[in-house]
Amino acid sequence: MTTSGTLAVGYLRQYPAMTHCELARAKAQIAAAAQECGFVLRHVFVEEMATDPAAFDALIKVARRRKVAAVIVLAHVHLSAVGDGETKLQRLHRETGAHALIVGGSTP
């Protein structure tokens, strides 16, 4: 898939046991996936469990304002439900039209 110049953002949930090195590695995996697919990575939003979904709300605002085409995540679980019955993936599609690109990786 070649999307040269198309904007993307990354999103991941930082779990309590995640070390600084694991977080840095997860961000690097997202950046590498964006580059490989030809996206211009605007930002990686990191969700802390205690404030979930604050980072996702910020992502939605940026995605709308900047016409972001894709949100890159390492695993489908990052876009799971928050508690209102709608998943983050469903909200992403409904509010922005951006696509989720799940690239896999060892970080949950």
Per-run averaged pLDDT (10 residues), the chain, 108 residues? 74 94 96 96 95 95 95 93 81 94 67
Q: What pLDDT is recorded for position 99?
A: 94
Residues 6+ away with beta carbon under 8 Å from 74: 12, 26, 29, 30, 102, 103, 104, 105, 107, 108
Instruction: Point out which residues pair with 79 in neighbouring strands.
Output: none
Q: What is the pLDDT of residue 36?
A: 95
Question: What pLDDT is recorded for position 80?
Answer: 87
